[in-house]
Structures are given as structure tokens and as C-alpha cells.
Chains A and B, each alone.
Chain A
């Protein structure tokens, strides 16, 4: 119980600034990367018309997420952004599920992970917006309906980063705290597996999907 909220940090001082690294989050992120790269390697190693289980799973991910992207964006844009969206979803899904394995923790439990992914989505969305509409039309949108609404429009746009990343972070963090506290209160009898299934598999899966879909929608709002 006392371990709650303890984070292993590596602090390096450069030019008087302290650079703080959360070691657990970094290690877990690399584990997720490694699993995904291995999965991608084995899924596409022996490509056949009659797919094996891994290839079928990979194809399912790609086709479903491409269909989702095509619904929101056009066919051409889906080709550009589809791979990113697919990778984002697979990373988030595995990140949210990895906490169910003992001794491993969700990298998304650390606010830095969702925040950086949210920032990435934000930059991509605005890049896509400027590219497709031109800078003038893009910038004009901030001065609508009246010019002095600009600061509020800007805050509203920046708040999107906060909302998308805190949503994921809050859900995963809340789930893991609940699992820890209830396991502690009940001496780990009976309840923890069900809690893991609900907060880990179910909520984790939904939130990975919500994050991915919001990223797609942010892009599509900027493009259109």
C-alpha cells in the first residue's frame, strides 16, 4: 500500500537543469516496442494466401483500422495516416494490457506517455490542416466567429491535448489504483482477476480505441 505513487526516477543535471527520467515507464515502453516489433516480424515473415494465426491477427488490425480511418478521412489521406493510426492503436492496446502481467506496469499510467502521444496527434492534425487548406484558411478559423474570440479558440484547441491525454491517463491510473487497493483490502482473494479483466482488458481496450479515434477525428476536423 505504501508503494502507491512511488516512481523510480533517474535525475541527470545538465547545465543546471534537472532532466528527470521515469525509469519504469521507459523500460515498459521498450518492452511494448519489442513485443510489437517481434509481432510484426513474425506476422509478416511467411505471407501466404491462407494466413496463419499471427498473419490473420495482423491483417485484422490493419484492415479494421484502415476502414476506420477511411470513414473519417478520404481514401488518399487514409493511405498517408492509416499506418500511423494502426501503429498508435496497437501500441496503446498493448500498453494498457501489459499491466495485467505481474511485475509489469502500463507505460500509459505515467502521464508523460499519453501526453507525448496526444502532442504528436495534435501536431500531425495541424500539419495536415495547414497542408490541405493552406495557411491563410487555417489561421482564419481561429478568428471566427469574431476576431476577439482568438485567445479562447486557441485555449480550446490546446485543451484538446490535455483532454485526450488525461482521459487515457486517468482511466489507466484509476484502474491500477483500484486493483491495488481492493487487492490489499481483500488480501487478494477472489476479486483481483475480475477487476483485472474489467479495468485491464475492457476499459484498457476501450480507451485505446477512444484515443485512436479521437486522433483520427482531430485530423479530419482540421482537414475539412
Chain B
């Protein structure tokens, strides 16, 4: 049994590729299943619209699928690229890149299913609005994919950056931490953004007149929902591009891994929580368009408060990187 260095790099690439596709398949499958379930229920309500609903379902599922296609692309790159074994760090790079997009695709995949399902139901309720509903669904689910795109950016930067001149000892932990920060951090925001988009499709179907306002507030709500995923991306960037002094201490390395875990896991809750806030705000605005300004302000303040735990996680990550 060969036990040389290149073998271990390949081992890491294969495990990373497997993890990327395996984890990345979870979310899109759930989201697409959710869409199909609601499409069926919509067709049972108005069977004469089945063609329209079927089309909308397929379009929505295609967008939901793109999260797992990102994972597929990374998995392919990991499996078919020859990684150099110049540095010990190359064992961690493919692993971290795989984990980043793998985790990152979960939330966006599930989240994109919500607007697609709601749009199918909406078409059965308001066939005249089907074009507007499909557009709104596409916008909502495209914005939903943003956290997955952040995880993808981290994966690609990890794969194409040359780490061979960096000291092995703290950098291996920084690389793993960077992948986990973006990857885990994307889960909550992807899910939360989906909730908002789903509520907006539902709202437009109930109150067609409110369509423009609802779409605008949806975009705003989703954008704020993504904030914690962006903190994850920020920490990943710092971990990838800061040069760390070589050290023998395992504690210094673990501080960097801890920084990634802190913002990664800490971003999950605020992402979902802010999603709930914006979801309810969007559906309230659809019901009572006159109160738009008031509801939007309360939504923003509520989201800011819900985000404060994400900011605590960000502060701890920054302290772990720069102070300890």
C-alpha cells in the first residue's frame, strides 16, 4: 500500500469531492420535492391549468437545482484536477473547498423550493397573474441562491490560490476555517431568503395589486437576511488572505478554526430568524398595502435585533483571528 504524499492529496480531493456532492444534493432535492408537492396540490384545485402549473414547477425546480449544480462543478474540479503536492497544505485545500460548497448548497436548495411551490399554488388561484408570479418567483429564487454563490466563491478561491509559501502550522486551520465559515454560514440565509420569497409569491397571488411593492420589500428582506452569510464570507476572506506567522502551538491554529466555526454556526440562526421576520412582513404588506412604510421599518429594526447574535459571533471570530 502506497502511503506517499501525493496519495494523501488525492485522498483529500476525493473525500472533498464526495462531501461536496453528497451534502450539496440534500437541499436541492428537498426544495424540488416541496415544489412538486405543491404543484400537485395546485393542479388538483384547478386541473384545467395543469400545463401552466407544470411549466412553472419545472422552471422553479431548475433554479432550485442550480445550488447542487454548483456543488457538482466543484466536485468535478476536485475529481479531475491534478493537485500538486508541493506543500502539506494541499491536503486541506480540497477538503475545505468541498465542505464549503457542500454545506453552502443546503440552505439555498431548500429555500428556492418555497417560492416555486408558492408560485404554483398562486397560479391555480390567480391564473391571470401567472406571468408576474413566475417573474417574481425567478427573482426571489435567484436571490436565494446568493449564499450558495458565496460558498462557491470561497471554494474557487481556495482551489486557485497558491498557498505553498505559507507556513503550514496555522494556515491549515485557517484553510479549514475559511471553508466552514462560508459553507455553514450560508445555510441559514439560504433558508430564510426562501421563506421571504415564498411569502411574496403567496401575497401577489392573493393581492395582485400589491405586486410591485411586495417584490421590492421581498428583495429588501432577502438582502438583509443574507447579512450573516456575508459575515461568513468576510471571515473566510480574512482567513484566506491574511498571512499568519508560523507557530508550533496547536492552540494558535485552533483559534483560526474556531473563528470559522464561530461565524459559520453563528450565522445559521440569524439567517432563519430574519427570514421569518421578512416573511411575515411581506405577507402583511400584501394584506394591508397602506401600512407599507411602517411595516418595512419594523421589519428592518426586528431583523437588526435578530442579527445581533450574528454580530456577537462575528466579534468573537475577529477576536480569535486578531487578538489571540
Contacts and interface: CB of A to CB of B under 8 A. Distances in A.
A193 interface: no
A51 interface: no
B160 interface: yes
Contact of A162 (B220, B230, B296, B300): B230
B89 interface: no
A166 B220 contact: no
Interface in B269-308: 292-293, 296-297, 300, 304, 307-308
Given A152-B311, A156-B311, A213 B150 contact: no
A159 B230 CA distance: 10
Interface stretch (B9-17, B46-54, B136-144): B136-144
Contacts, number: 91
Report the interface size class on chain A. Answer: 20 to 34
Nearest to A181: B73
B106 interface: no
B254 interface: no
A185 B226 contact: no
A181 B73 CA distance: 8
Contacts of A171: 146, 149
A162 B234 contact: yes
A155 B143 contact: no
A182 B231 contact: no
Contacts of B297: 221, 224
Interface of B: 70, 73, 76-77, 138-139, 142-143, 146, 149-150, 152-153, 156-157, 160-161, 216, 219-220, 223, 226-227, 230-231, 233-234, 292-293, 296-297, 300, 304, 307-308, 311-312, 314-315
Contacts of A63: none
A83 interface: no
Contact of A156 (B77, B160, B216, B304): B304
Interface in A108-155: 152, 155
A81 interface: no
A4 interface: yes
Contacts of B304: 156
Contact of B230 (A163, A198, A224): A163
A203 B314 CA distance: 27
B113 to A, nearest CB: 18
Contacts of B311: 152, 155-156, 159
A36 interface: no
Contacts of A52: none
Contacts of B220: 210, 213-214, 217
A159 B223 CA distance: 14
Contacts of A28: none
A221 B153 contact: no
A64 B41 CA distance: 38
A19 B157 CA distance: 24
8 contacts: A4-B160, A68-B216, A159-B314, A171-B146, A177-B153, A178-B149, A206-B219, A217-B220
A170 B153 contact: yes
Contacts of B234: 162, 166
Contacts of A156: 304, 307-308, 311
A173 interface: yes
B101 to A, nearest CB: 11
Given A68-B216, A173-B153, A206-B219, A152 B230 contact: no
Given A68-B216, A152-B308, A167-B146, 14 more contacts: A4-B156, A5-B161, A71-B292, A155-B311, A156-B304, A156-B307, A163-B231, A170-B149, A170-B150, A173-B153, A177-B156, A178-B152, A185-B77, A202-B138
Contacts of A152: 308, 311-312, 315
Contacts of A170: 146, 149-150, 153, 230, 233
A58 interface: no
Contacts of A174: 149-150, 152-153, 156
A192 interface: no
A170 B73 CA distance: 18
B292 to A, nearest CB: 8
A197 to B, nearest CB: 12
Contacts of B219: 206, 209-210, 213
B308 A206 contact: no
